Amino acid sequence: MPLSFAVAFDAVSVPKFFDLEALLPQDGVTLYLGVLVAVGAFLAVRYVHSPWRKLPPGPKGFPVVGNFIELRNKQWLTFTELSKQYGDLIYLNVGGQPLLVVNSLKVTADLLDRRARIYSDRPRNIVASDILTGGQLIVFAHHGDVWRRMRKAAHEALSKGIARGYYDIQARESVLLASIALNDPVKWDQHFRRASTSSILSITYDLPVLESEDDPRVVRINDYVGRLTRAAFPGAHWVEFFPWMKYIPSRLAKWKRDGYYWYEQDSLMFEGLLNKVRAEVAEGSERPSFCSSLIKEQARFGISQRESAWLAGTLYSAGAETTAAVLSWWALAMIAFPETQKRAQQDLDRVVGRGRVPTFADLPHLPYIQAMVKETLRWRPVAPVGLPHRSTEDDWYEGMFIPKGTIVIANVWKMNHDPELFGANADIFDPARHLDADGALVPGVADTKDESHVAYGFGRRICVGRHLANNSLFINMAVLLWAANLEGAKDAQGRPAPIDVDGCLEGGLVVRPVPFECSITPRFSEALTVLAGERDVRGI
């Protein structure tokens, strides 16, 4: 401050400038101080009673990014480890977005099942949901009118009773899979993929058996699945972190321009497949399929042509890759736990014999193989953290605050490996855990919809195709084990080589085992002959 300016402030003027008594009358000072005290008290009380002080426990994050580091690879293992310190509910903050990890089946059922009204939404997914699929992919769609109508249609067309109508398609594919795998065992994983794809395309669109994964129709649909998977992967697009970017004109944003282009192209593809079935329905030449059911009941369901087309496309994209991945984990289990393979084959010899292949008529008499399906899905869920839910209202759970808009992740892996639910050997593949002392299936663990695992999800977002998936897995496992032995690699001395049961491949929405060697050989000399005869009967 310049000296001349400082001198201008004399001893009298300075205190009068800063003294409230010099500026306000006595009553005004009292009022002013009273207001300050009241505001301070209000803020203190508000802070003390703020629900945000009652959030579930969780690790402290870093400035700005919060707990982003906790979302690294193999999240299910990270969350399982964190649960040892923080418990069943873990609160994370990811760049300002509240995120809740649930590690307990009871808590998950309390929230996602019993409070499904406010926990059935999906997080915002601008590219994968809003742009690439026009908000019409039921898996990602928000919990609104479009989702409700599509869900109702899918639920009725894939109910447990309706799913039995597809037994013949699934049995046909299981016979073809076993036959091809025995004749060309080196490509066993590709055969799993072909069989799963062929089955789901026949069920959805009444398409004939696929001879190869290289079929142009399959390549085109798989390209769509690949785009969708890449777009849905966390961190794939900046717009998911900075939503304002969605307002950038398409001519200036290639990701947006490409997204809208592929939405139109994929819509035309799915509508073309649907219209093929529509023409067959009009001619009266259709066979049972998901699309024929949709077309006949479209008006009652209240869904449009495009919504019907995307609903059918969702069934394929959600079913083909997941079923193939489950079969890969099952093959790994057969190698790592050969005693389970032997027990299943003993049951097959007793119930089916060796003169014919297993059919769905044998299902009630093969509880161990039914248990094997349950155990594969429990032991190695292909979506170990499931798909996230999102809360639509503020909520409280056991004194802890869950704010509106919280993303809720159910740690499926942790629940499926809970020793309190599945015993001290929960990390081991053991189908017998689902059977009683007489070898009969026991009722499913509480809150698992009689599945004895939670791999199919929760609440209103539970997988609508789970009955179809269970049937497909059962018949494929039964026919393969009836016809073949599955063995792993051997060392120089001819002994079984070590196999990695924990390694996995990420990079999308489905987790698969790391590549491993699987030898598939005939279990008895007549196996190939019986399979060939069955193929002749079925015309495959």
Can you give the residue ranges of every domain in the chain?
54-538
Position 68 scores a pLDDT of: 77
pLDDT tens for 392-434 read: 999 999 999 999 999 999 999 999 999 999 999 999 999 999 9
234, 73 in Cβ contact below 8 A?
no
445, 452 in Cβ contact below 8 A?
yes
pLDDT tens for 56-112 read: 999 988 887 788 777 777 899 999 999 999 999 999 998 888 999 999 999 999 999
pLDDT tens for 342-398 read: 999 999 999 999 999 999 999 999 999 999 999 999 999 999 998 899 999 999 999
Paired with 262 in beta bridges are: none
Instruction: Name the residue among 164, 167, 163, 176 with its Cα closest to residue 538.
Output: 176
Burial of 47 (0-12, 13-18, 19+ CB in 10 A): exposed
> How many whole angstroms separate alpha carbon 146 and alpha carbon 302?
9
pLDDT tens for 300-310 read: 999 999 999 99
Taking residues 518-536, report their average pLDDT. Answer: 96
Neighbours of 95 (CB within 10 A): 13
Backbone angles phi, psi at 212, to 5 degrees: -155, 155
Long-range CB pairs of 436-441 (<8 Å, 24+ gap) are: 439/367, 439/368, 440/367, 441/367, 441/370, 441/371
The token pair at 436 is: 């009683």
> How many whole angstroms separate alpha carbon 517 and alpha carbon 187?
10
Whole-number Cα distances in Å, 448 to 213, 412, 443: 34, 11, 10
Q: Which residue has the higher pLDDT, 223 or 22?
A: 223
The token pair at 282 is: 């009009």
pLDDT tens for 172-206 read: 999 999 999 999 999 999 999 999 999 999 999 99
The token pair at 513 is: 């085992």
The token pair at 482 is: 């009836």
The token pair at 479 is: 């026919």
> How many whole angstroms separate alpha carbon 77 and alpha carbon 86?
14
> How many whole angstroms separate alpha carbon 128 and alpha carbon 457?
20
Pairing of strands 97-102, 407-410: parallel
Under the banding of pLDDT at 50, 70 and 90, the label for residue 486 is very high
**3-state secondary structure (DSSP) of residue 89:** strand
> How many whole angstroms separate alpha carbon 471 and alpha carbon 454?
17
The token pair at 328 is: 């890969």
Relative orientation angle of helices 254-283 and 216-232, to the nearest 10 degrees = 140
Three-state DSSP string of 217-251: HHHHHHHHHHHHHHHHCCCCCHHHCCHHHHHCCHH
Backbone angles phi, psi at 93, to 5 degrees: -120, 115
Position 12 scores a pLDDT of: 40
> How many whole angstroms separate alpha carbon 346 and alpha carbon 480?
13
Paired with 407 in beta bridges are: 99, 390
Torsion 280-281-285-288 (CA) sign: positive
Instruction: Name the residue among 464, 477, 527 with its Cα closest to residue 367.
Output: 477
Burial of 74 (0-12, 13-18, 19+ CB in 10 A): middle
Q: Which residue has the higher pLDDT, 6 or 330?
A: 330
pTM of the complete model: 0.88
Q: What is the CATH number of domain 54-538?
A: 1.10.630.10
First to last CA, the chain: 98
395, 405 in Cβ contact below 8 A?
no
Instruction: Name the residue among 387, 419, 384 with its Cα closest to residue 75.
Output: 384
Paired with 435 in beta bridges are: 441
Q: Which amino acid is at 369?
A: I
